[in-house]
Amino acid sequence: MNSFPLLFFYVSAMGVVTIDQLSKFLILHKLSLGETVPLIPDVLHLTLVHNRGIAFGMLGGYDKLLLVAISLSILVLAIMGHILWKRPSTRFFTLNRTALMLIFAGAVGNWLDRLRYGAVIDFLDFRVWPVFNVADTAISIGVGLYLIHFFKQPST
């Protein structure tokens, strides 16, 4: 059995996690909490915030419960990745594999923040949307790829 595709899943995910964690490391060492630095004034700022909840700060008072739920989600995503990446490669699976890898990597990146800092480190601030990070971007792109795949399925 060829383990290259499964290895590719984890190596790709580790690449996304590394970029996410490196970007957060740099922000944590350059900005103080709440500090904003405009890159493109009124369009893109770097703003350091700590998000103790999930998307848009929801469920912020449930730190331990969120950590357990996210830990279980990562385990499920890893199992799904293992199953999906062992199947023969087809165009159908390529999009799903990429989507799953991005969601898995984003979840791991934010999970590491919760373990280390007790909150997710967010810093990308477009001023019209809640502040987010690279891991959030990976999750959003992964979900978008799943939606594209879902809506492009031929009806039976």
Report which residue type is found at 18. Answer: T
Q: Does some domain include residue 112?
A: yes
Q: Cα separation of 124 and 41, whole Å? A: 13
122, 20 in Cβ contact below 8 A? no
Contact call for residues 6 and 86 (beta carbons, < 8 A)? yes
Q: Report pLDDT for 152.
A: 77
Spatial separation of the C-alpha atoms in residues 41 and 98, rounded to whole Å: 34
38: β partners: 45
Residue 97 domain flag: yes
Annotated active-site residue in 20, 113, 125, 136? 136
Please indicate, yes or no, if residue 40 is contained in any of the structural domains.
no
In a domain, 115, yes or no: yes
- Mark whether 122 is an active-site residue: yes
> Can you give the pTM of this predicted structure?
0.83
CA distances from 56 to 60, 76, 133 (A): 9, 23, 12
Q: What is the pLDDT of residues 18-31, one digit of tens each?
A: 999 999 999 999 99
Domain containing residue 85: 4-31+46-151
The tens digit of pLDDT for each residue in 97-120 reads: 889 899 999 999 999 998 999 889
The answer as to whether 61 is a domain residue is yes
Residue 100 lies in a domain: yes
For residues 110 and 24, the answer to whether their CB atoms sit within 8 Å is: no
Our answer to whether residue 136 is catalytic in this structure is: yes
Q: Assess if residue 22 is contained within a domain.
A: yes
CA end-to-end distance (rounded Å), the chain: 33
Domain count of the fold of the chain: 1
Residue 156 lies in a domain: no
Catalytic one among 20, 113, 122, 125? 122
What local confidence, expressed as pLDDT, does residue 71 receive? 79
Q: Can you list the positions of beta strands (E) in 29-150?
A: 36-40, 44-51, 120-125
Using one digit for the tens of pLDDT, what is the confidence trace for 49-101? 998 866 655 555 556 776 777 778 878 877 777 777 666 655 556 778 889 89
Query: Is the alpha carbon torsion for 143, 92, 148, 134 positive or negative?
Result: positive
Contact 55, 36 (CB under 8 A): no
